[in-house]
Amino acid sequence: MNMSYKTTHPVLSPASLGPLALRNRAVVAPMSRVSAGAEGIPTEQMAAYYARFAEGGFAAVITEGVFTDSLFSRSYQHQPGLVTDEQQAGWALAADRVHAAGSAFIAQLMHGGALSQCLTETVAPSAVHPKGAKMADYGGSGPYPLPREITSSDIGAVIDGFVAAARRARAAGFDGIEVHGANGYLFDQFHTPYTNLRTDRYGGTAADRVRLTAETLSAIRAAVPSDFVVGVRLSQTKVNDFEHRWTGRGEAAVYFAAVAEAGADYLHIASEGRDWRQTAMIEPDLSVTALARAVTGLPVLANGGMHDPARAAEILGDGHADLVALASGALANPDWPQRLRDGRPIEKFDHRILHPSASLDNAERVLAGVAG
Ligand SMILES: Cc1cc2nc3c(=O)[nH]c(=O)nc-3n(C[C@H](O)[C@H](O)[C@H](O)COP(=O)(O)O)c2cc1C
């Protein structure tokens, strides 16, 4: 810990995310916690979990990936949805709790595509067998099934699902949504050449491969008022491929321009499975996040190891990003912004919190000191 950051750390200055004024630049990154009821209904335990970050001083909390339709979007057992009235009501409780503690609340909308841990029939841009195996911490086991190539009518249903879920998010009291275009899930499967072999308008060049993401953002943007934040998450790496990289600034710039043109209010650049440094630079002197800022002029969230106060200060101070999003570091330090403000030490993340399950029950057992 470096005491010199006390009260002056750049993360503690106010910021904005599109129309939203934020008390600081610290955001909780989306984290799947496989803890909703079997019907995808968010629980009181989840509301308390999300409120804890708001009470700890984070300016905005992004939820775990939420499923958007009852067809093929679902990614995990015990994943929350935004498809039914009951799911919406569960989220409304969480939104009240987060707002009461002074934070903005953003729902991450997610379609698992070929990487569903729970569906036996999956859809993807092309019938390409996914790399890797299902993830035990999220209830998966064994190999992924071979996905079916998504049809144009399935694509229409995907967009409709995201629009309906965004409307429900607004009705539940969220301040905005984030389209999960990262980490190897459906939209990222479209972005990625080896999982997208299509020859229609959704496959081919980078502009074609990002088309579905952009169309989905535009459709959402048209369906919600302008004071409702519409963000998007993008990444090079994937939960089942930590090595994938965009071919260079050209490919990245096409994605960034397309989502901005579609009406995104912010870009969130994820670093799945890798420290920020390892995925940060698209050219020796140009970070992916700085390129996103330059191409779009929009606020950019950097992610990956941002709980290190020196790292976060460098990212913000050197113009790499406007905000930082913490995942594992926020689990270890739900009061990270207050710790920075008070000059208190940052706790190390304990991996047992997510093993053998990423659920809240498992985390509570570990934190209570009863895990084996
Ligand atoms: C338990 C857990 C669940 C996650 N679930 C999601 C998710 O639902 N959506 C998403 O975009 N990223 C998800 N991620 C990735 C994180 O948002 C983040 O990109 C990654 O953990 C790197 O950030 P960190 O170094 O701050 O942990 C998850 C990460 C963790 C640890």
8-37 residue pLDDT tens: 899 999 999 999 999 999 999 999 999 999
CB of 271 shorter than 6 A to ligand 1 = yes
The answer to whether the pTM exceeds 0.95 is yes
Q: How confident is the model at residue 1 (pLDDT cuts 50, 70, 90)?
A: very low
pLDDT over 80 at 187, yes or no: yes
Q: What positions carry a catalytic annotation?
A: 185
| 372 vs 365: CA distance, rounded Å | 9
CA of 31 to the centre of ligand 1 (A): 5
CB of 304 shorter than 6 A to ligand 1 = yes
Mean pLDDT value across residues 294-313: 96
pLDDT of residue 7: 59
The closest-lying atom of ligand 1 relative to the alpha carbon of residue 331 is 31
Which candidate, 6, 22, 5, 26, places its Cα nearest to that of 14?
22
CB of 140 shorter than 6 A to ligand 1 = no
Mean pLDDT value across residues 106-130: 97
- When the candidates are 3.90.1300.10, 3.20.20.70, 3.20.20.100, 3.40.50.300, the CATH number that belongs to 3-371 is 3.20.20.70
CB of 34 shorter than 6 A to ligand 1 = no
Going by alpha carbons, the residue nearest to atom 29 of ligand 1 is 31
Which residues have CB under 8 Å from 124's CB, separation 6+?
Answer: 113, 114, 130, 147, 148, 149, 150, 186, 189, 195
CA of 271 to the centre of ligand 1 (A): 8
Q: How confident is the model at residue 372 (pLDDT cuts 50, 70, 90)?
A: very low
| 363 vs 44: CA distance, rounded Å | 16
- DSSP class of residue 224? S
